Chains A and B, each alone.
Chain A
């Protein structure tokens, strides 16, 4: 099948690649851009492992075509840590709070939570659960993912106690 040339920016780095129009954005990132941190858990839009930020908004990279990212900016998990590998505050919170086990769902959760923490509104328990329930994790029972994001929100001054944690 013929390929289409596209240009996209991933984590601030411009990429010019040729993709088949039927290839997903996730496949494009993984295979054409060599960024395998974006994982595929279902390829039908349920699990959220493939979550990336497209023009700042969280999207399922398995449900978009690569060509839809032509001319647009994508952020993936590889863009979170500093160039020397130093973890960002959210990644650190996941590390300290055991927010991952096998780590397969982790990139998706990190991108989803990154988006949430960049929004102007503060995060409370209800919003935390609501937003994070977009993605699936099979290992952690979510307890330590919620705890990690809560800790990061607190460290970033984004947390608000509305209802008691229960």
Chain B
């Protein structure tokens, strides 16, 4: 039976459908409530924090109470990184609106809020640095003495022949683009519950997080406690998309409370806190300059990348994650002979940045794919032909930044998309519509997505903490079920199902006999988590390796029991077979554990194996096509059609894969049209509710068509390439190109996202 590749409904679902999931807030009964008091100013000096009369049992904790608690200070050993420190609670200065400056504890959340409102905060406001332009202004206030000029990361790549390429060019295309700030907005905001266990003295932190092992390591180090005395559990997690990777100050504070006061303390973030004080992303300006030959051949590219990464540097990736990913991956799927770039992370008095689905690549793809359309227009060439001319066709291909592109289908995916989109028919519709004063447009985005990369890729960034491998422990119980313990920690990606499918095939067992255990540092091996489109590739590869080792053990035992050669034994349908003879796996499991005198010389007293996997990485690829109608009077954009041709290698479970594409595209559409975190010039956030920050509903997301191609990766064990982020990467560029195409009669060029009605109207007005 081949389970891998089937559209198997998920084992995760029934409990969630019955409302029996266990999210952090569902586990909080009996815990005391924690409310964080947050800075109302973007910048300022703390003069005093005066507690009101506290009712019995209530607490107010400030930075002054946290003697001996360390600051969050991730490291990067390259790219001129300046290590900056984020205190768990500050004593001297506040750095962004929403920064936690004190914690109130009371019996109920309502009481804690009442007390928090009565605390007297005396803060002397100072001048705030809010935008990229503010941060770079000569004489601007400096956030951190360690980072002069507010530059926290400054990475450059210089190819000596770049200037020659520009000197030789027939055409130079140059422009700037801006990407608005986004919030990943998981529907469950952050939450943590720290509980002291009197019997053992240990603390259990249950948190809505993506990287439980990393969180444990980080918190133990900050608090100077034994890591072995801290258990971190990620229960059901209501979405993350990167936002829940980081070590936030709220979590060590909860653990500190549980240790100090020997009790249970729970913080459930509200939506306003999540919108202003969790983590933001994508606030970037790119300046691009590209050299082309007259026939459309791309000769060289220069990029200047500026990222507003907020007040602090997120742990463990650091604030370098956005600019440095752009620096390394700007060449995309295109053959680029020479490349020079500079990428900076700038500190501002705003919420810190952290990874969000796609990290910098939605912005990079916006840049590259606008470049292709602009260049085609400048050279009088067909944009599809221009892309085809420059896409990489021979693999492996080494990019100018040293990345190796493995087997992929860049041109083929483009061709499939162009065919499915039926561009000639669209052009006819576009013509007819224009005669009626309606503006239709079609936009393409071709891109690759670096996925499933292990430690080499993270080490190359010079990270002080190098994530990347995954470890899987597998064991068969005496009754014959299989437990797969993974260090990764999924939160909606269906890994419990997909990994069971993989293991089922290797063990000849029904997936319903396999339990995948994750999200608990006490019960799983050390590992990293679900981020960077890595679950199917890395946790999948490690699961496959571990299952193979277990299968070999089972075959050896079966050979003894069936009196056959181990090589002749196969596993299928829950049994081991040698010719016609067979023995159920349940019987082998029972004998290994309970009749060990017969079998222990074959490899011990149990059926447990462990395996790890640390691949170099692979690239999936896709082509997105958007068809839009723009109302030139109102600036409103309606998406008429959205098509995705996706090549993510071998699909472990196409049902789940489609869901990942859908979710990514919806976030990409939101990025293109709707969502933007806004700040007033003084650093006050203006988008503090879901009435101001606008995630799309079913009314804004069109039907999404998906065509899969499956170019198996030679670089991964499972043949899978990741695809968790691709939807979010391609959609903004495709939509920006479609709007620009629709408004080409006005000469409008979309260079800023989201393309809100107000922005589109301004562009049309200025063009007229």
Residues of B within 8 A of A46 (CB): 689-691
B611 at the interface (CB under 8 A from A): no
Report how far A80 CA is from B14 CA in the complex, Å: 12
B699 contacts which of A34, A44, A133 (Cβ < 8 Å)?
A: A133
**In angstroms, how far is the closest chain A Cβ from the Cβ of B105?**
18
For chain B residues 651-693, which have a beta carbon within 8 Å of chain A? 655-656, 658-659, 662-667, 689-691
Q: Contacting chain B: which of A64-72, A93-101, A154-162?
A: A93-101
**In angstroms, how far is the closest chain B Cβ from the Cβ of A157?**
22
**In angstroms, how far is the closest chain A Cβ from the Cβ of B239?**
4
Q: Contacting chain B: which of A53-61, A116-124, A137-145?
A: A137-145
Report the nearest A residue to B640, measured CB to CB: A166
Q: Is the CB of B659 within 8 A of A104?
A: no
**In angstroms, how far is the closest chain B Cβ from the Cβ of A65?**
12
**In angstroms, how far is the closest chain B Cβ from the Cβ of A109?**
10
Residues of A within 8 A of B658 (CB): 98, 143-144
B690 contacts which of A39, A44, A166 (Cβ < 8 Å)?
A: A44
> Which of A1, A30, A95 counts the most B-chain CB atoms under 10 A from its CB?
A95
Residues of A within 8 A of B665 (CB): 141
B741 at the interface (CB under 8 A from A): no
Report how far A133 CA is from B667 CA in the complex, Å: 16
Q: Contacting chain A: which of B19-27, B167-175, B245-253?
A: B19-27
For chain B residues 1-60, which have a beta carbon within 8 Å of chain A? 9-10, 12-14, 16-21, 23, 25-26, 29
Residues of A within 8 A of B758 (CB): none
Q: Is the CB of A37 within 8 A of B19?
A: yes
Residues of B within 8 A of A104 (CB): 21, 23, 186-188, 236, 238-239
Q: Is the CB of B186 within 8 A of A102?
A: yes
Q: What secondary structure prevails in chain B residues at the interface with A?
A: loop
Whether A103 contacts B493 in the complex (CB less than 8 A), given A44-B271, A136-B697, A142-B701, comes out as no
Report how far A37 CA is from B701 CA in the complex, Å: 27
A105 at the interface (CB under 8 A from B): yes
For B, the interface residue count at a CB cutoff of 8 angstroms equals: 53
Q: Is the CB of A42 within 8 A of B663?
A: no
B704 at the interface (CB under 8 A from A): yes
For chain A residues 27-59, which have a beta carbon within 8 Å of chain B? 30-31, 34-44, 46-47, 49
**In angstroms, how far is the closest chain A Cβ from the Cβ of B355?**
16
Report the nearest B residue to A91, measured CB to CB: B17
Residues of A within 8 A of B188 (CB): 39, 41, 102, 104
Q: Is the CB of A102 within 8 A of B492?
A: yes
A135 at the interface (CB under 8 A from B): yes
B491 at the interface (CB under 8 A from A): yes
A81 at the interface (CB under 8 A from B): yes
Whether A129 contacts B699 in the complex (CB less than 8 A), given A38-B19, A144-B659, comes out as yes
Q: Is the CB of A136 within 8 A of B690?
A: yes
Report how far A137 CA is from B187 CA in the complex, Å: 7
**In angstroms, how far is the closest chain B Cβ from the Cβ of A15?**
16
Residues of B within 8 A of A95 (CB): 9-10, 13-14, 17
Q: Is the CB of A141 within 8 A of B10?
A: no
**In angstroms, how far is the closest chain A Cβ from the Cβ of B656?**
7
Q: Is the CB of B237 within 8 A of A78?
A: no
For chain B residues 570-609, which have a beta carbon within 8 Å of chain A? none
Interface string of B209-253 (1 = CB under 8 A from A): 000000000000000000000000000111101000000000000
Whether A78 contacts B663 in the complex (CB less than 8 A), given A43-B271, A102-B239, A145-B698, comes out as no
Q: Is the CB of B187 within 8 A of A101?
A: no
Report how far A96 CA is from B13 CA in the complex, Å: 10
Report the nearest B residue to A101, measured CB to CB: B492
Report how far A85 CA is from B13 CA in the complex, Å: 12
Q: Is the CB of A136 within 8 A of B187?
A: yes
Q: Is the CB of A144 within 8 A of B662?
A: yes
Q: Is the CB of A143 within 8 A of B704?
A: yes
B695 at the interface (CB under 8 A from A): yes
A142 contacts which of B19, B110, B666 (Cβ < 8 Å)?
A: B666
B18 contacts which of A40, A47, A77 (Cβ < 8 Å)?
A: A77
Whether A44 contacts B187 in the complex (CB less than 8 A), given A139-B663, A143-B662, A145-B698, comes out as no
B270 at the interface (CB under 8 A from A): yes
B492 contacts which of A30, A44, A49, A139 (Cβ < 8 Å)?
A: A139
Whether A42 contacts B271 in the complex (CB less than 8 A), given A102-B238, A138-B186, comes out as yes
Residues of B within 8 A of A36 (CB): 19, 23, 25-26
> Which of A41, A77, A87, A98 counts the most B-chain CB atoms under 10 A from its CB?
A98
**In angstroms, how far is the closest chain A Cβ from the Cβ of B607?**
31
Whether A98 contacts B29 in the complex (CB less than 8 A), given A105-B187, A129-B698, A133-B699, comes out as no
Whether A103 contacts B703 in the complex (CB less than 8 A), given A36-B25, A44-B271, A95-B9, comes out as no
24 contacts between A and B (CB under 8 A): A22-B110, A30-B25, A36-B23, A41-B188, A43-B270, A44-B271, A44-B690, A44-B691, A46-B691, A96-B9, A101-B239, A102-B187, A102-B238, A102-B491, A104-B23, A106-B17, A136-B690, A138-B187, A138-B695, A141-B665, A142-B662, A142-B701, A146-B698, A166-B703
Q: Which residues of A contact B (CB under 8 A)?
A: 1, 20, 22-23, 30-31, 34-44, 46-47, 49, 76-78, 80-81, 85, 87, 91, 94-96, 98, 100-107, 110, 129-130, 132-146, 165-166
Q: A39-B188, A87-B18 are in contact. List 13 more A-B contacts (CB 8 A).
A: A35-B19, A77-B18, A94-B17, A96-B9, A103-B492, A104-B188, A130-B699, A136-B697, A141-B727, A142-B662, A142-B701, A143-B658, A166-B703
